[in-house]
Amino acid sequence: MVGVITTAPLKKFLDAVSYVRGENEMMMENLSSSGDIAIKYAEYVNNCRTQGIEPEVVFRLVYDGVHCTGGYCVINGELCCFWSIKGGRGLWLLDNAIADGAYHLNCFDGYLPTFYKKRGFKEYQREHNWTPSGPDVIYMKKEKLQCV
């Protein structure tokens, strides 16, 4: 059974991120903090307002019954804070994020670049981790989804 994907207000999304990071050690290391996402969102929205343009922001959460089991946000085409705690659901969730306008991202080297390549993302930049044994940060992008 596939979960139900819903649009979430910013606060509910940030609360879900904080909860997942607090409950899951792997997510704590790999998932952006709610503070980082809130700052990115605020800077982007403020920049849009000063230019008189409408911000392009989407917050989505996935529910299995009452339990939040995944989510992502897309801020100006950047896939941020993508996660799923249900195995086998990642590509379905990524397809939804792409449909919501995601076409660039960054992630740690390891499993994730291979995962994102399955949907056409390509590495265009790499930064060495400031922690000596930590994985590199990989920047990836794909062609923007165009409506015909």
pLDDT tens column, 35-48:
888 888 899 999 99
pLDDT of residue 20: 82
Return the bridge partners of 66, or none.
none
pLDDT of 29 higher than 80: no
Kindly state the average pLDDT of the residues 102-126.
Answer: 95
pTM, full prediction: 0.86
pLDDT of 140 higher than 90: yes
Kindly state the average pLDDT of the residues 113-134.
Answer: 93
Identify whether the C-beta of residue 140 lies closer than 8 Å to the C-beta of residue 121.
yes
Kindly state the average pLDDT of the residues 22-31.
Answer: 72
Percentage above 90 pLDDT, the chain: 47
7 or 26, which is more confident:
7
Q: Name the average pLDDT for the chain.
A: 88
What are the C-alpha distances in Å from 60 to residues 42, 48, 49, 113, 122?
Answer: 18, 21, 23, 22, 24
